[in-house]
Amino acid sequence: MSHPFHDVWWFLQRLDIVDERGARRRLHPLHPEQRAIVDAFLAHRKIIIEKCRQIGSSTVLCALFFWKQFISPLSQNSLHIAHDDDSAKRMIAILRGFNEGIPRRLRPRLVPDNQHQIGLSHNGAMFASLKAGGRGQGRSYTYQNVHATEMGRWTHAVAAATAGRARADREAWTSVLSTMHTTADSHVVVEGTAHGPGKFYDLAARAQRPDSDWTFLFFPWFFFLEYQRDPPDDWVRTDDEEELSGRYPEMGRPHEVGTAEHTEQVNRRLAWR
């Protein structure tokens, strides 16, 4: 009989997260967007996540990579790449917090254990978290898994670190992929918010093509109930808003398209926009 640890939902419900204030709390319950990310992670190996705001995607992805490597009988390494050094350190702190929540008799020692790396003593799994475009870019190891967070912000962050060199974010991504030793079990997950042209824009566009080998998840602003307001009495939709509402009928969820309730919900979101 397999251990309950192999059930990802069972495992995630028992993980602790240490927030930025140092307070410890349960990761569970997950937001609907986080649950959709878990489903995609279990079903696919290459995933692009485009989101409008902070939805806890980096946190739940760290949890998934921790689960995957914790239960693996073989040593696996994952490389987590962020747009700045503070975010990179934050991901290691999240991963360390997950391990600290494991029952003491089952908890592996962390070797090494520093601001940018932790390793699990029971199977040799390694997690490294670095800044995009940073020196070395994780080349001391090979990685079976890659998690690129806030890639939409790499364009400016990496350019600033390279004196504005054009295409620096694309070069940084190429450098990351060069550290990978891809296996049938490898995961590559990229997430971020659109910030204009750059590597994230390229990957998100590619992921939406019918022949793409990427899975695309999109969490637009109109999925979130707080992004709405009552329209003014004289408010009418512009042509752009009519086109947007036709392209995304789910803007009026959870009501059925064509009903008065659906139209009201769409108008409230468009008025907020």
CA distance linking residue 226 with residue 224, whole number of Å: 6
Instruction: State CA 110 to chain mean position distance.
Output: 24
- What are 46's two structure tokens? 């290459």
Q: What is the pLDDT of residues 71-114, one digit of tens each?
A: 999 999 999 999 999 999 999 999 999 999 999 999 999 999 99
Of 189, 138, 132, 174, the C-alpha closest to 156 is 132
Show Cβ contacts of residue 273 under 8 Å, excluding neighbours closer than 6 positions: 221, 227, 241
Other CB atoms within 10 A of residue 84 CB:
17
Say whether pLDDT at 7 is over 60.
yes
The pLDDT value recorded for residue 238 is 93
Instruction: State CA 32 to chain mean position distance.
Output: 14
Say whether pLDDT at 165 is over 70.
no
- What are 244's two structure tokens? 């947007």
Three-state SS for 50?
Answer: strand
Instruction: State CA 149 to chain mean position distance.
Output: 6
The mean per-residue pLDDT over the stretch 50-65 comes to: 93
- What are 258's two structure tokens? 């064509």
The mean per-residue pLDDT over the stretch 160-183 comes to: 79
* Cβ contact 26:16 at 8 Å: yes
pTM above 0.85, yes or no: yes
CA distance linking residue 160 with residue 169, whole number of Å: 10
